[in-house]
Amino acid sequence: MLTLTVKALHISLVIAWFAGLFYLPRIFVNLAMVPAGSDAERERLLLMAGKLYKFMTPLGFLAVGLGLWLWLGFGYAGGWLHAKTALVALLVAYHWHCGRLLAGFRNGTSARSHVWFRVYNELPVLVMFAVVFLVVLKPF
């Protein structure tokens, strides 16, 4: 019963974390498109992005922590799990990089175009598909 409870919490937290990973870069797209002189719009988007980042960070920590608990505490094993762990590490790096990008917007040093952020926004989607297929199919 404990295993299933931890697994259910892990899945729920992963979903919530991914919602943030999907939406934060979308806010970056909008920030990159703010016309010069639109300070109120820029500040509103920065406020939204900052609150979202602060909200999604503990969700990510909890999701990763419960995933480690499932792996180490309940003995899940297999090569697929190592691949999944590498992809989760990539997502953690992506999350951290989003924080750096947000800091760049706050400092006025972001020089990326909205097109770059549109592409950047799709990266966690690709990783999510890979992780789901690894978990469901356990190919190795």
Total domain count, the chain: 1
The percent of residues above 90 in pLDDT, for the chain, comes to 91
State mean pLDDT over 26-54.
97
- Domain of 40, in residue numbers: 2-137
- pLDDT tens per residue across span 72-92: 887 777 899 999 999 999 999
State mean pLDDT over 9-13.
97
State mean pLDDT over 117-130.
97
State mean pLDDT over 61-80.
90
Cα-based distances in Å from 136 to 14, 99, 126:
15, 31, 16
Q: How confident is the model at residue 133 (pLDDT cuts 50, 70, 90)?
A: very high
Residue 111: predicted pLDDT:
87
Residue 76: predicted pLDDT:
76
State mean pLDDT over 88-107.
98
